[in-house]
Amino acid sequence: MEAQSDMLSVEEHLPGAVLEGLRQRGHKVEVAPTGHLKFGATQIIHKLADGYLGVSDSRRDGQAAGF
């Protein structure tokens, strides 16, 4: 799938009502398989008052790690 400036790409697990709502609002929407490599992923570490919170996107290899 090639990137297009006027196209909104969403993953296939997006609820149908949300998808239809986007289309009704005039968005051009393409549905890609969940986890498709065209979508980014993230690993995040957030400093809390009493420690840290780490999360990792389960759709990709990786981990939130700090030291």
What is the domain partition of the chain in residue ranges? 1-36, 40-67
Question: Which CB contacts under 8 angstroms, 24+ apart, belong to 60-65?
Answer: 60/35
For residue 42, give both structure tokens. 């993230």
Give the CA distances from residue 45 to residues 10, 51, 59, in Å, rounded to whole numbers and listed in that order: 26, 10, 17
Q: Torsion over CA of 1, 10, 34 and 31, rounded to 10 degrees?
A: -60
Residues 7-42 pLDDT 10s: 898 999 999 999 999 999 999 999 988 878 778 788
pLDDT tens profile 35-62? 787 787 888 999 999 999 999 888 778 8
Secondary structure of residue 21 in the 3-state scheme: helix
